[in-house]
Structure 1
């Protein structure tokens, strides 16, 4: 999904358990203190190395393939920052060992270089993850246009744009780079003056500092665990391929709980990628998905199908929005909008309240902190401020790129006029600041919510004939600016804690963004040409493409296209999503932490129950491992999960090449009623 679910849940849990957060901060401070005693901070130009850039391209390409597969199958986007930092550590350590063995001199591998590679890698695969390939860009395709219903009033004839490497690459360059220049002048205020935690950035910094202080023995165990699971996962993907034939064949269709359950998508599809994803995501995310699977495929869809001929016409195909598919699409939209709107209001309120309080007490808190600051904190601040980014870069970069975007985006999407682009870029800086401030407090990135608001507004303003295309393109424009600026600020927090120069961080982010704008469209087309992308009955369902398309149609047409009682069910699930969030926030922590996540509940409604089963197996492995040996589990789970995800994810690359070469698996393994 376009929203990173487990990031959200981790921070909700942190906000409910202040002791855990304090413990994490103390651990981070301890790790930093160890490093400060023995690390000499190099100039920023030496923190960016050629081998680091090469490693970033290699790792970023692998992760782009992995997240593209996740985008086009389920839409789930787990936080892979930890995995990126771990793989970067493994790659450079292997590089230096090989260089030593063949007699080459290699410069020491520092946490600054590790941070630079992690930043560049994350910036690269973030384009594949959040560039709209599984949502608003794919929603423009002809297939999604046809699935939405060509006869509906809002889905005007010809309102689609087929994917192509050229225009997608140009669009990404136009909308992604401008976000790098939005919040540069405010980095000191957000990170040093307001001392925002940016928990994802802080957790990554603690991990990187730990890699470079824990010793070779502990690091060796993680490397060994990653290598074993990577090899196992890759070989398992290769083995499965032989039995996948053509059509619904192979282990991915194994009727684990019987054929009747399989018809309702309840089965284990032996995907180690999703098992690894389940190991990374918190337990409540996976259990929420299982609940959503039971609610939809176990109860609701069988009951609604029985109303065929009553609630919706039996003559209309089920894939039509005025038929059964209308329920499948708009009920999860209601859940997403209810959860998104609630969190939008909640985080905005927290942000405004905190900003007012901190501004009011800034002088007092500043004096107090100066008295109590540790030497380590002062050193971090000094490194962060010393190599500042020139102020003139911000206005020149932002205004220059905004002018270029206002010219180029209407050329790509003639329906999105230049004045809509200009208005969006005028509003973006204030929205980006609010989003980054809220993410610094809670780690919840609301950029997709801002994008959805922009989608509805632009679609309604442009009108029925061109509103869908303009709305989808505008959603990506707004979302990209706000998201990239927030990710950069999280990386600045990581750099602050690892003594990495802000100039090196900014340049690493820019390099990674440029690489991602080229690699992501190529990865997408590898899948688009090799597999049946967007087929609601296939492996690559791309569920959020149809959701975004229907959001745009809803913004243009209103509710008139929905089948009977669909709107009432949407109201009920919207209220259900809001109610769950209210109970979670108002109840005691011991109760609130068990409340399900509406966004996770919504995912299986379109995709199927098998994803939830895969991820629940991952969460079961982690749960049992922690019961048996909690200390070892804490060390090894990120490495094992990363290996499982990367191995099978990398097998997708040769599988795609084989599919493009028309090389079919030799065996089709199917199961039939006896």
Structure 2
């Protein structure tokens, strides 16, 4: 393969301040403000936001090229932005947007307010309601964000979619019955492209989990409604959703803990050996792997030579966790020091599990972990004020998991581009600082914009924040403890735990013994994701694998050379379209047509009668 780094060999390598530049900081503020505005607008209206990674990266490139070109036309000859500056810029921007996605302005934070509490109960307990200022909350975002970053250091089709459930993205590929269970191909080129890159065993693990959950287990559990549970609401934990979340998280957390213990043991042994040999790690690794090409050798030298000491991450994590636990009592009166201290004690295991899963599948389940923490916190402190405690604990977990999973990917990008890990760390810190300022200001602007008769969080508001009620309802449910879960939920979770432990043990033994079966053992995290997020994206990613296999069968050489480029093009195309689509939504420009699929029979007759009636009214 051609060498990438030899093309840059003659160029000087800039130090820390050559990568963390003022101009990159200024552009980051502009891009972070723009995308945070769009993100929060969608999040507070709809409750769900797509990925901005690709459009941000592309827009960053366009802005930088345009800025340099404009300055040159004005007679100024600036040095072009280096790839290291670009990484710092993109890291800062994405960190700020990750705060937008996890700051709670569309769910748990609004769930603390009086208007949401009254929407669920006519006479809510005043001790479970708190209306904090966005300025105070900004300090909370800052400290939790810093905890999240410190935790990573030791690791290192718009036209036909004019309404809900419209367009090719909801085409019932496998029939309407499976479509109801979210088992269909949604024409997502992003996941199709990711599927072409992700290993086959992961993609087929996703598909296996989708079939087991969506086509076999859930239909069985739904048949038990009225016997094991009563509600059919998809947003509470005392119905079928309780089985989904607890079984899925059992698989993810069990595998995460297993890998965490395995990795920690290996790191301790490796650290002991390096201490005896007085070796920094890079030279020894290169000697052990003489087949490493020039690019990998160069990247190892830069990345390991500029790494942030792990001990700094540990000290920083403990320090900011203590600070956050202390100031939270000042912001939320019901929060005591031990509440968040306990969360920050156990959250590293969840961070490892979520980061591991995100690395395998490019899909973070931070919101699901957050709901799990929300339920546990409410159940463990079932007293007046428990709703506030659980929602704040949920927020701390949400931000920590979301930011840390993205941060590890940023370090991988830094490795590929010879960017100093210290510059990436600086980008994370800078992104958290500007995000803790920009996002509360945007929320305050939306709060002023909302009508006084329909404030944020109410159904008739311009910003209804629909998931705020869901998060508060889970907190209220959690106060009842485990007995509020559907019947046999814990039994199913225990069986899932034993199965995951057995499979992970078999995987570890087969790897140590070098058995061929190791290549066919499914990844439990991949199997678990369809339990938590539905099977749709699993179908897309498995389709990407099938395309790659067919391409390899037809012409292996071209598949090896161009499949990554094709996959990147699919992901980029989907990501580029998401930005104008979001902007159209921001300006309330709706698609002109809704294409929806209905089963034949009575529903079609009702739809035809309604449409015919509309035509008749138009003629009178």
Give the structure-2-normalised TM-score. 0.69
Please point out which of 573, 583, 586 is paired with 1:643. 573
Q: Which residue of 1 aligns with 2:595?
A: 669
Q: 1:502 to 1:462 in 2, by over 3 A?
A: same
Please point out which of 200, 215, 224 is paired with 1:298. 215
Q: Which residue of 1 aligns with 2:484?
A: 561
Secondary structure of 1:366's partner?
coil
Please point out which of 393, 396, 411 is paired with 1:474. 393
Aligned ranges 1:513-528 → 2 under 5 Å: 513-518=432-437, 522=442
Inter-partner Cα distance in structure 2 for 1:284 and 1:66: 34
Please point out which of 336, 339, 342 is paired with 1:417. 336
Q: 1:448 to 1:412 in 2, by over 3 A?
A: same
Please point out which of 73, 79, 84 is paired with 1:112. 84
The CA deviation at 1:584 is: 3.6
Secondary structure of 2:587's partner?
helix
Secondary structure of 2:484's partner?
coil
Cα contact 2:145–2:399 (8 A) shared by 1: yes
Q: 1:54 to 1:270 in 2, by over 3 A?
A: farther
Cα contact 1:116–1:504 (8 A) shared by 2: yes
Please point out which of 514, 539, 563 is paired with 1:613. 539
Cα contact 2:39–2:101 (8 A) shared by 1: no
Cα contact 1:287–1:616 (8 A) shared by 2: yes
Q: Which residue of 2 aligns with 1:350?
A: 263
Inter-partner Cα distance in structure 2 for 1:137 and 1:164: 11
Q: 1:267 to 1:656 in 2, by over 3 A?
A: farther
Structure 2, unaligned stretches of length 5 or more?
Answer: 288-293, 602-620
Q: 1:267 to 1:180 in 2, by over 3 A?
A: closer
The CA deviation at 1:641 is: 0.9
Cα contact 1:289–1:603 (8 A) shared by 2: yes
Q: Which residue of 1 aligns with 2:612?
A: none
The CA deviation at 1:100 is: 4.9
For the pair 1:326 / 2:326, whether they are aligned, the reply is no
RMSD of aligned C-alpha atoms?
Answer: 5.6
Inter-partner Cα distance in structure 2 for 1:395 and 1:548: 34
Cα contact 2:132–2:331 (8 A) shared by 1: no
Q: 1:459 to 1:67 in 2, by over 3 A?
A: same
For the pair 1:40 / 2:12, whether they are aligned, the reply is yes
Inter-partner Cα distance in structure 1 for 2:182 and 2:304: 56
Inter-partner Cα distance in structure 2 for 1:107 and 1:505: 21
**Once the two structures are superposed, what CA deviation does each residue of 1:574-632 show, in whole Å capped at 9, x if it has no partner?**
43443443344344675444444444444444654444434444444555555553212
Aligned ranges 1:95-494 → 2 under 5 Å: 95-97=67-69, 100=72, 104-131=76-103, 159=128, 169-179=138-148, 198=156, 236-237=157-158, 239-241=159-161, 244-245=162-163, 247-272=164-189, 274-275=191-192, 278=195, 282-313=199-230, 318=233, 326-364=239-277, 366=279, 380=302, 384=306, 405-406=324-325, 408-421=327-340, 458-459=377-378, 462-477=381-396, 480=399
**Once the two structures are superposed, what CA deviation does each residue of 1:224-254 show, in whole Å capped at 9, x if it has no partner?**
xxxxxxxxxxxx42x234xx24x54444443
For the pair 1:634 / 2:564, whether they are aligned, the reply is yes
The CA deviation at 1:393 is: 13
**Once the two structures are superposed, what CA deviation does each residue of 1:16-39 show, in whole Å capped at 9, x if it has no partner?**
xxxxxxxxxxx89x644654x312
Cα contact 2:377–2:389 (8 A) shared by 1: yes
Q: 1:582 to 1:50 in 2, by over 3 A?
A: same
Cα contact 1:492–1:502 (8 A) shared by 2: yes
Structure 1, unaligned stretches of length 5 or more?
Answer: 1-26, 191-195, 199-235
**Once the two structures are superposed, what CA deviation does each residue of 1:87-135 show, in whole Å capped at 9, x if it has no partner?**
6445534544565567652312323212322332332233245556788
For the pair 1:92 / 2:64, whether they are aligned, the reply is yes
The CA deviation at 1:637 is: 2.0
Inter-partner Cα distance in structure 1 for 2:184 and 2:267: 46
The CA deviation at 1:340 is: 0.7
Q: 1:479 to 1:303 in 2, by over 3 A?
A: closer
Inter-partner Cα distance in structure 1 for 2:283 and 2:500: 44
Inter-partner Cα distance in structure 2 for 1:259 and 1:452: 30
Cα contact 2:186–2:540 (8 A) shared by 1: yes
Q: 1:596 to 1:370 in 2, by over 3 A?
A: closer
Cα contact 1:140–1:549 (8 A) shared by 2: no
Q: Number of residues paired by the alignment?
A: 567
